[in-house]
Amino acid sequence: VIKINKIRKQEKREKIVLKLIKRKIQRYKTGKIIVYYNIISKVKRFIEVLDYNIYYYNTIKKNSMLKEFIKESK
> Tens digit of pLDDT for each residue in 8-37?
888 899 899 999 988 988 888 777 788 888
Residue 28 per-residue DSSP state? S
Residue 68's closest CA among 58, 55, 49, 50?
55
- The residue type found at 67 is K
Domain boundaries, the chain: 2-72
Contact predicate 33/69, CB 8 Å: no
Answer yes or no: pTM beyond 0.75: no
Q: What is the pLDDT of residue 74?
A: 44
Distance in angstroms (rounded) separating the CA atoms of residues 51 and 38: 20
